[in-house]
């Protein structure tokens, strides 16, 4: 009788060991699959990013370089006209500055060290200061929620920042505002960005495809974001973009 009990215990122990080993193997396989899926997803993001960068280089920088080439040739041909030459040199400077800024944004975007939301906000603050301070526009930058560990994918980070740049530029150049409130909030795996100015506002129906609004809408669509632009003459403008953070 005792031998039978001992034998059953041994069988149970061996079975338990086999079950534990199987669970460990299953765990290893699940972890491996999770890593493989994440790697595949990141490769897809990199491929999409490469395509977007190639498109931007072709469209934006190609156009800027062509303009620089044409303007410089005209300037050399009519070098005796000082005022016109000065104006053309100014345009060359503007186009070359745009190229340098775009290249800087591309390098920043593809750097994995910048995938945290904190790094994105730091760059937003820098850009806000560069734009608003020289124009004496008061601005407030608010952060709401827990930002620790919140990350953004390559494409999301890029398009979120470019929508932010477009909204800030529009507020500074066209709104005639005295104050801008920028808010970035984190809530349940979502990031919401709001840029509100106290400027003159505008009629959406009249300028739907002006002031970069079409570009903002397209970038929001590419990252499955929810873009809302509310404005009315005399009531200022608010640009809101809500996107999902990187899992």
At 134-192, the pLDDT tens digits run: 999 999 999 998 888 788 888 888 899 999 999 999 999 999 999 999 999 998 889 99
At 24-71, the pLDDT tens digits run: 888 888 887 877 777 777 777 666 766 666 666 656 666 666 666 676
Per-domain residue ranges of the chain: 1-110, 115-247
Fill in the DSSP letter of residue 235. S
Helix H or strand E encompassing 134: none
Collapsed DSSP state (helix, strand, coil) of residue 92: helix
Cβ burial of 42 (10 Å; 0-12, 13-18, 19+) is middle
Inter-CA distances, 43 with 38, 39, 40, Å: 9, 6, 5
Contact 211, 168 (CB under 8 A): no
Cα(208)–Cα(212) distance, integer angstroms: 9
**pLDDT band, very low/low/confident/very high, at 99 (cuts 50, 70, 90):** confident
Mean pLDDT for all residues in the chain: 81
Let me know if domain 115-247 sits in CATH 3.30.565.10: yes
- Could you please report the per-residue DSSP string of 160-216? HHHHHHHHHHHHHHHS--SEEEEEEEEETTEEEEEEEE-S----TTTSTTSTTHHHH
């Amino acid at each position: 009788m005792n031998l039978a009990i001992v034998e059953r215990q041994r069988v149970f122990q061996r079975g338990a060991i086999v079950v534990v080993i199987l669970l460990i193997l299953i765990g290893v396989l699940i972890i491996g699959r999770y890593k493989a899926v994440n790697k595949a997803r990141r490769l897809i993001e990199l491929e999409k990013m490469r395509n977007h960068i190639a498109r931007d280089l072709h469209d934006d920088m190609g156009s800027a370089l062509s303009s620089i080439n044409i303007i410089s040739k005209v300037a050399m041909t009519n070098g005796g006209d000082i005022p016109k030459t000065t104006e053309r040199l100014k345009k060359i400077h503007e186009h070359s500055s745009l190229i340098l800024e775009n290249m800087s944004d591309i390098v920043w975007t593809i750097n994995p060290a910048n995938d945290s939301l904190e790094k994105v906000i730091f760059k937003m603050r820098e850009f806000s200061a560069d734009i608003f301070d020289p124009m004496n526009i008061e601005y407030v930058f608010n952060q709401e929620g827990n930002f620790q560990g919140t990350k953004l994918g390559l494409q999301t980070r890029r398009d979120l920042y470019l929508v932010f740049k477009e909204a800030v530029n529009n507020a500074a150049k066209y709104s005639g505002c005295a104050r801008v409130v920028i808010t970035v909030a984190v809530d349940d795996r979502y990031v919401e960005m709001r840029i509100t100015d106290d400027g003159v506002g505008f009629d959406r129906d009249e300028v739907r495809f002006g002031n970069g609004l079409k570009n903002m809408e397209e970038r929001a669509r590419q990252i499955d974001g929810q873009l809302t632009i509310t404005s009315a003459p005399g009531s200022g403008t608010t640009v809101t973009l809500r996107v999902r953070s990187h899992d």
